[in-house]
Amino acid sequence: MPQKSKIEVTEKVKITREYVSGKISREEAARRAKVAPASIARWARIYRQEGALGLAPTKKNRVYSSELKKKAVLEYLAGGCGLHTICEKN
């Protein structure tokens, strides 16, 4: 089940944009949002992939096709790149 965000979407997008554009550090973004720096990195990855709408709360989990899952697993096992890179590509 998706988690309810403790920070408003508009604030999350604002902080993420500032981090992605290099105006603030990941640590500063985390301090402002009162979350772990790893969360900021995740938000940035989502923002780069899906834009601001990707940071909006959803009512259900995303569904991925079995073809996409298989492709990602095979690419990971082949050692071509890391997990986060594969996630960004797919």
63 part of a folded domain: yes
Residue 60 counted as domain residue: yes
- The 10s digit of each residue's pLDDT in 16-41 is 999 999 999 999 999 999 999 999 99
Residue 90 structure tokens? 């797919």
Whole-Å CA distances, 42 to 9, 17, 36, 74, 77: 15, 13, 10, 23, 22
In a domain, 1, yes or no: no
User: Is position 65 within any domain?
Assistant: yes
pLDDT band at 9 (very low <50, low <70, confident <90, very high): very high
Residue 86 falls inside a structural domain: no
User: Do 41 and 26 form a contact (C-beta atoms < 8 A)?
Assistant: yes
Classify residue 90: in a domain, yes or no.
Answer: no
Domain of residue 21 covers 9-78
Q: How many domains would you assign to the chain?
A: 1
Q: At 16, which helix (H) or strand (E)?
A: helix 9-20
What integer pLDDT is reported at residue 84 of this predicted model? 67
pTM over 0.85: no
In this predicted structure, what is the pLDDT of residue 38? 95
Quick check: is 83 in a domain? Answer: no
